[in-house]
Structure 1
């Protein structure tokens, strides 16, 4: 596309963009989110359109029991059954309606047919779904960072969000993409197996190149917390540390989970001074020292839910009860079926808003996974000085 330069204006010939040279001086970014609890004003919510079972790959299989990985391998690349889509879609629509009733602006990605094949010179794959924007994009202040994810089937996932990202950029947001990973065999341990209880922890990822999912990070102003996992390696953590610079600190949370993937069922920031932890995955005596003055709230044992189909299809563990979304420092959206979590939140002084999203689990998560905070009403602060 050709451009024409006029005094003070850069104009696209086809008229799709008209951005003043000094636009950044006058724009107020629509993106502004520094933590997990400031009042939520705008959010991106994922969609189920075109969802397909993820293509078979060791980095996908490694977080599942062997029998589940075999079943997934048979279904890889096919669309999810209608029975799964319809139940999840109904709950997702209700969740979006709830957010809008709370005065929150909701943006959605473009639909994509994830059965289409794509690749690089080294590999080919089909896609997965657009259900979890929390994985592929990380918001730090007024900046959106596209993350270098380790699953080949998610390589182009952010493209369905590009119209939204371009809109935010034109309105003043910063937009960054981490280096696209090669995802060659050198990134993955060839003889990896899930470590048994009592064995030293290890991960399928090598340090061949930086990879990370945004959902392995949570934000508390100038401090971020991260779990190293089967989708986030040390190089990925170090890339983000250098990118953010000395104004931020990144603290690693040790996880005892044998198949770690994403921090939001392990360590959940609720409000200044309060953090929810998974007693199965976290040794509270080994938390970073900066948390010594915070209240460490122990998540209750998840409520047993007799959903046989869900047990077979879900890629998430029982601790999805922790996958909640803070609306502000008091109000929190939590799954209606997890009554133990709802009661615990009330006891700790929060105001839980029950909502159904149980059948979203086969597509990667619940309320926190299904959303990406775009704007929260607040400023950058340090909560640990």
Structure 2
């Protein structure tokens, strides 16, 4: 059984995953620790906390931001927008995160609009998704409309934008705090602008608001010679733990973190580096523990179509991308569910994602899940688990890179902070 003990103000290394420590120890541990010490932890009073502290004060009804996990009853959610979506320029980090079959598409349309008819269908699907969420009793918020075609230049790079379709990528709610991720794609550098009016509103109403250090995204953040030519190259590089992003500066996408109360699971991916995970660990310690988990995945980008926690002690684990640390969950008494093969046809465009968006579901509570209306196999799987399905068709929205979990950020869920690992 997993048992973790943490001491506020004392040594926080105990709860870190060992190979973060070993990595940071090679030459720059002292520098990293001096530079990125958590002001929150430094200012905290000296007291002892235990993983088996079960309950905090209940969430008040008027609290603007509060969510501890992926399954408590959903009360308010941000849903992204497909409007004005632009194909990102075909830079090295975009190439490393997309499949070879779509590289000609990026070479031809990079810096231009996604096919307008397809985008309009996605807009209509997401509007219907919002209507259904409202009928299920959820308050729906939307980001601002932005012209993503505008080119911008920093001292280190130039680019045009992408979209504000995937709030899960850029926003992470931990308790009553909303964290803006720094991102790793240059095309997403200014994506936060679409969400700022909402975040400022939440802040004025009492929420905590943190923006992670923004990377310069200079050439040093990327392996400019990252050798991906074939699927075999991807498998080999992933097995060796080599990624297109370096450790030059912290970077991460929020969608590489999966919450389960006091325990948060993260993966090192093409868009999230170890320094980014370490920043999160220090920022959230000692109240939350960050665990690194990894997968047999040739193209790791975001955890939620590979590993999706859907309830207390219940996790979906992608059979094509097995988790190397799955015994951690089994030994803790968790049920590991293998979702069925997705039904999406081969000829449907998925410019930024895999077919496994079928498992990228949104839990409305422990017994209700929003799932793709076309994926009858996974609907039956949930029904066998005693979870009723709310069916919505977002097939064209899938093409832009996300399922229900990606297209949303749960701002408020009705629940309390608990530890699900004893």
| Normalised TM-score (structure 1) | 0.89
1:166 to 175, 200, 210: 200
1:233-382 pair list within 5 angstroms? 233-283=273-323, 286-287=325-326, 289-292=328-331, 293-305=333-345, 308=347, 310-311=348-349, 313-382=350-419
Of residues 88-97 and 188-197 in structure 1, the stretch that sits farther from structure 2 once superposed is 188-197
1:99 & 1:27 partners in 2: Cα distance? Answer: 19
Distance 1:89 1:211, change over 3 A: same
Q: In structure 2, the residue corresponding to 1:363 is in which secondary structure? A: coil
2:80 corresponds to 1:43? no
Deviations 1:200-232 (A, max 9, x none): 342111111110000011100100011110000
SS of corresponding position for 1:41: strand
Shift of 1:193: 2.5
| Pair 304,44 (structure 1): closer, same or farther in 2 beyond 3 Å | closer
In structure 2, what is the Cα distance between the partners aligned to 1:125 and 1:364? 19
| Mapping for residues 197-208 of structure 1, pairs under 5 Å | 197=235, 200-208=240-248
Deviations 1:313-340 (A, max 9, x none): 5311011101100000010000011111
Contact 1:28 1:172 in 2 (8 A): no
The one of 183, 187, 202 aligned to 2:221: 187
What count of residue pairs does the alignment treat as equivalent?
A: 356
Q: Deviations over 1:171-215 (max 9, x none)?
A: 000001000101111111122124344553421111111100000
Q: Which residue number in structure 1 is paired with residue 164 of structure 2?
A: 130
Q: Which moved more, 1:49-58 or 1:268-277?
A: 49-58
Distance across 2 between alignment mates of 1:63 and 1:173: 33
Q: Do residues 148 (structure 1) and 182 (structure 2) align?
A: yes
Contact 2:169 2:254 survives alignment (8 Å): yes
Shift of 1:287: 2.0
- CA-based RMSD of the aligned residues comes to 1.7
Post-superposition Cα deviations, 1:281-301, rounded to whole Å, max 9, x if no partner, equal: 114x63262552100001111
Gaps of 5+ in 2: 1-59
Aligned-pair CA distance for 1:105 = 0.5
TM-score for both structures, normalised by structure 2: 0.81
